[in-house]
Every structure is written in structure tokens, then in C-alpha cells.
Amino acid sequence: MTGQRTPTIDRGSTAGRDLGQLLETGPFAEALRAAIRARGLGLERIRYRLRVRGTTVSLATLSHWQSGRCRPERPESLRALRNLEQILGVPDGSLRRLLGPPRPRGQFHQPGQPLS
């Protein structure tokens, strides 16, 4: 050790305020990422805690949710999200509320155009 002090990060006050605001306004991926950071858990640990609750979610899925590549939409993913909110210690429904309506999947028909 050189005897030099390294600056510490106060994660409690600023992270809590940022998380609270993100849980109110979103977007989902940023709020999830902030909640994970505030809780101080890695994705592997979160995955383990979900599994203990009977929910299986891959690391890739958790990573994609927090990066915004995809979001939970299927019924089993929404059940996992309920457990995830409890694990992360955020208010019940706070992350689910940020999802909004489900996105359309596959090809969709626009009114006024003939079906192929």
C-alpha cells in the first residue's frame, strides 16, 4: 500500500435518488440497470435467487433486459419480473409499469391493404 487514500463512492444517496426517478419515468432498461447497481448484485447471483424462487431466466436474458435489447413480455417473463422486483427491493409493480403495452410481433396487417 502506498498510504494514499482512494476516493469512495457514496452509492446510497445519489444512486437512490436516480433509481427513484428512473422507477417513476423509465425507461425500463435504465431503471432495471439502476436497481441492479443499487442492490449490488451480479447477474449470476440474481439468476440464482430467481431459480430459488422457482423462476428460470438465462444470464443472456437478464443482460438483454438491462441493456434494452429486449424486454419481458411473455407470461413467464412477467412472472420472473415480479420475483426480480422483490429480489432488487424495488416497489412491487414499479418495473412492470415501465413496460407499457406489448409490442406487435411478426407480420401485421395494415387496414386498407389487401391480404397476401
Q: How confident is the model at residue 103 (pLDDT cuts 50, 70, 90)?
A: confident
Whether 79 maps to a domain, the answer reads yes
How would you class 94 by CB atoms within 10 Å of its CB: exposed for 0-12, middle for 13-18, buried for 19 or more?
Answer: middle
**Domain hosting residue 57, numbered range:** 16-98
Question: What is the pLDDT at residue 10?
Answer: 40
pTM tops 0.95: no
Whole-number Å distance between alpha carbons of 85 and 65: 13
pLDDT in tens, 37-80: 999 999 999 999 999 999 999 999 999 999 999 999 999 999 99
Whether 22 maps to a domain, the answer reads yes
Question: What is the pLDDT at residue 7?
Answer: 40
Whether 38 maps to a domain, the answer reads yes
Number of domains in the chain: 1
